[in-house]
Structure 1
Amino acid sequence: MTSATPSAPAASLLPTVEHTTGESPRFSVIWLHGLGADGHDFEPIVEEFDLDRLPPIRFIFPHAPMRAVTINGGYVMRAWYDVVSPDFAPGREEADGVRQSTAQIEALLARENERGVAAERIVLAGFSQGGAVALHAGLRHAQRLAGVLALSCYLPLADTLAAEAHASNRQVPLFMAHGRHDPVVPYDYGKRSAKLLKAEGYPLEWHAYDSEHTVCVEELSDIESWLHRIVGAAC
């Protein structure tokens, strides 16, 4: 079952695409797309998972705001934050955009709470730029989440994590995955972020694949297994 949520007034909810695996969902997955894509990009992934043995889940795919992206000549596209330099190494991202997008994800999390889905039954997921925002928002969220899934990305604003991380999500399960041959977000960026998070004591699973900037078949299988464990633990 798929539906589109129309644009809301300013300072309100992002437009989204939704797919539910059954009636009256008890769990939610908020999945953020990468730079230049939109909420439809990962919508087909739901059909790739075998979720029949799990309670109904609502998958939510928000559309990032339209903004000028410096690295693309100022072209306006869907982006969670601006990329100002080809060397967008961790620590050089556009902080205001990251924080603005985090506030918009907080609004979506709050809406799920209002719909009867507690934070502890929500997974925050994302790919590439969306994965970076998922990590940033998830580790700072004031209520314990079910898990954070971060694919082909890195931890943005890592130097502020120690001061801003919320105690509620110090033990949130983290799943990070990266292609060893990624030409867009270098593999080393993701690996270093995972190492940092492990050093901080986060329970993180790291997965590496012989792939580029994509989600490969083996990765889909690992994500499915992780979702089964996360949702099963929250039942």
Structure 2
Amino acid sequence: MPVTLNAGFRMPSWFDLRTLDANGPEDEEGIRRATELVHSMIEQEVKAGIPSNRIVIGGFSQGGALALYSALMYSKPLAGVVALSCWLPLHKNFPAAALGNTDIPYLQCHGDCDPIVPYKWGQLTASMMKQFLKQAEFKTYRGMMHSSSDEEMRDVKLFVERILRPE
């Protein structure tokens, strides 16, 4: 899709990114459309026989932002959320906008040298979410930019193993 921050050129994107200003305008309609798509993917898995409380959603950067928002706007319980190098879209609407999943585990990870999604955005998101989420964990990776690391992937693996223990 065309992305405003990319001078309107097309790129893989869940929704339009209009500014790097944390208080700037957001693509509310695009975020809601993308959320509906995520919810429909979850529903397909539920129809295939996987209980919603055994489903973990997650993503990196814009995908992580969408995972956070989608989980909070989903009315059925999920197993957890993994959010890497991201922020909470439409953050001004929370905690009032949250429809569900405030009592599930959230793992949010961020590199402290991220030049794309500033580390401060991750910190602010984590701080705000800890006010209304029961199980929000924020991990920092020293020297990591807008990428991933072996340490972060180990933490994600341990998180998923912990929340999806065999029944």
TM class by shorter chain equals over 0.9
- In structure 1, give the amino acid aligned to 2:62: Q
State which structure, 1 or 2, has the greater radius of gyration over its C-alpha atoms. 1
Q: Distance in 2 between matches of 1:88 and 1:177?
A: 21
The structure with the greater share of residues assigned to strand is: 1
Root-mean-square deviation over aligned CA pairs? 1.3
Q: Distance in 2 between matches of 1:121 and 1:98?
A: 24
Cα distance change of structure 1 residues 199 and 223 upon mapping to structure 2, 3 Å threshold: same
Q: Tell me the matched-pair count.
A: 166
Task: State the Cα distance separating 1:91 from its structure 2 match.
Answer: 5.7
Q: State the match for 1:196 in structure 2.
A: 128
Task: State the Cα distance separating 1:77 from its structure 2 match.
Answer: 1.7
Q: Which runs of 5+ in 1 are unaligned?
A: 1-66
TM-score (norm 2): 0.94
Q: State the match for 1:77 in structure 2.
A: 11
- In structure 2, give the amino acid aligned to 1:68: P
Cα distance change of structure 1 residues 82 and 192 upon mapping to structure 2, 3 Å threshold: same
Task: State the Cα distance separating 1:90 from its structure 2 match.
Answer: 5.4
Cα distance change of structure 1 residues 231 and 90 upon mapping to structure 2, 3 Å threshold: farther
Q: Distance in 1 between matches of 2:23 and 2:107?
A: 18
Task: State the Cα distance separating 1:183 from its structure 2 match.
Answer: 0.4
Aligned-pair identity in percent equals 37
Matches within 5 A, 1:1-235: 67-85=1-19, 87-89=20-22, 92-167=25-100, 169-210=101-142, 211-232=144-165, 235=167
Q: Distance in 1 between matches of 2:129 and 2:18?
A: 25
